[in-house]
Amino acid sequence: MDQVQAAFWAAPPVSRTITALTLVQSVLVHGGVLSGYNVVFLPSHVFKLLPQIWRLATPFLLTGPKLSFFFDLYFMFHYGSQLENSARFSQPGDFFIYLIFVAFSIMLTAGCFLGGMVFTSALILAFIYTMAQDNRGKRAMLWFIEIPMEYLPWAMLVITLVMSGWHGALMEATGIAAAHLYDFLTRIYPTFGGGRNYLTTPAAVQRFFARHNPRLGSRGYGTAFRPQASQSQSSQNSQSTRGWTSSIQNPWGGRGTGRRLGGD
C-alpha cells in the first residue's frame, strides 16, 4: 500500500489529479451514491441562465462499469503520466494545455455533434494516439499479435467498432481527431508548413506547474529539469509498454456509447 501511495505522489500532477478525480466520481456513481445524470454532458444544462459548469469536466472523469473501471483508471494514469513526463511536454504546464485543448475538441465533436454524454474513453484514446505518434517504429502487443505502435489506436478503434457498433467507434474516434489536431497545430504545421505554433503555454501556467512538477528540482539560482531516464531504464520502460494491450477486450469492448447510466 505504501508503494502504491509513493508511486501515486511521484507521478506528475495533472495525471494523478485527473486519475484521483475519476476514481472518486466513478465510485460514487457506480456505487449508487451519485446519479450519473448529474455528471454527464447535457448541453441544455450547460448552456442556460444558471449553467451547471461542472458538466464541462465531469464527463471526462467517469469510467465504465465492472472491469472497465480498473482498466480505464490504469490507462488514464499510465499513459497520462508517460505523456506528461515525455519530451513533447518538457515545459511545466504543457500537458495541462494539451489536456484542455483535447478535452474541448472532444466535447465539441462527441458531445455537441454526436450527442455523447461520457467522454472518458475518447480522452484515453487521445492519450494513446499521442503516445503512439511519439513512439513510431516501436512495437506493441495487441492480445497475442505484435503490431507497430502507430497502428495501436486504430486497432483499438476497430475492436470498439466490432463490440459496440458505429456510434461507439465514432465517439472514441473523436479522441484521435482531437489529438491529431493538436499534433498538427503544434508540431506538423510549424515544422513542415512554416507556420507558427499558437498553442503555447502561458507564463502564469508555467510558473504554477513549476512548483508542482516532480521532474523539476529547485536550486538557489533557478530551476532545472531532472535528467531523463538512463538508456537501461528506457529499455525497461519500452518492454513494459509492449504488453499492456493483452487485456483490452473488456474495457474497450464494453464501454458502449456512454449512454448506459442508471440515472439517464
Considering the domain boundaries, does residue 187 fall inside one? yes
Distance CA 9, CA 7 (A): 6
Question: What is the average per-residue pLDDT within 254-258?
Answer: 46
Considering the domain boundaries, does residue 76 fall inside one? yes
- Give the pLDDT confidence score for residue 236 in this predicted structure: 43
Question: What is the average per-residue pLDDT within 88-99?
Answer: 94
Considering the domain boundaries, does residue 258 fall inside one? no
Question: What is the average per-residue pLDDT within 90-111?
Answer: 96
Using alpha carbons, list the distances in angstroms from residue 152 to 29, 176, 211, 246: 30, 11, 35, 12
Written as nine digits, the cell of 200 is 503555447
Question: What is the average per-residue pLDDT within 176-189?
Answer: 95
pLDDT at residue 249 greater than cutoff 90: no
Higher pLDDT, 236 or 43: 43
Question: What is the average per-residue pLDDT within 105-121?
Answer: 96
* pLDDT tens by residue, 145-174: 888 989 989 998 998 899 889 999 999 999
C-beta of residue 64 within 8 angstroms of C-beta of residue 121 = yes
- Give the pLDDT confidence score for residue 212 in this predicted structure: 59
Share of the chain above pLDDT 70, in %: 80
Considering the domain boundaries, does residue 8 fall inside one? no
pLDDT at residue 196 greater than cutoff 90: no
Question: What is the average per-residue pLDDT within 117-137?
Answer: 94
Using alpha carbons, list the distances in angstroms from residue 252 to 19, 42, 50, 103: 18, 23, 36, 19
Q: What's the N-to-C CA distance of the chain in angstroms?
A: 36
Q: Could you tell me the residue range of the domain that residue 90 belongs to?
A: 13-203+243-253
Mean pLDDT of the chain: 82
Considering the domain boundaries, does residue 215 fall inside one? no
How does DSSP classify residue 52? -
pLDDT at residue 126 greater than cutoff 70: yes
- Reported confidence tier of residue 83, pLDDT bands at 50, 70, 90: very high
What domain count does the chain have? 1
Closest to 63 in 3D by CA, of 253, 255, 260, 262: 255
Considering the domain boundaries, does residue 183 fall inside one? yes
pLDDT at residue 142 greater than cutoff 90: no
C-beta of residue 131 within 8 angstroms of C-beta of residue 84 = no
Distance CA 252, CA 162 (A): 10
Considering the domain boundaries, does residue 225 fall inside one? no
Domain containing residue 49: CATH number: 1.20.1540.10
Task: Identify the H or E element spanning 210.
Answer: helix 203-210
Closest to 181 in 3D by CA, of 112, 236, 101: 101
Which pairs count as long-range contacts for 7-10, CB under 8 Å and 24+ apart, including other chains? 10/214
Question: What is the average per-residue pLDDT within 234-263?
Answer: 42
Distance CA 234, CA 240 (A): 10
Closest to 73 in 3D by CA, of 135, 30, 117, 134: 30
Considering the domain boundaries, does residue 230 fall inside one? no
Q: What is the DSSP string of 150-165?
A: GGHHHHHHHHHHHHHH
* pLDDT tens by residue, 200-239: 999 999 999 887 554 554 333 334 444 444 444 444 444 4
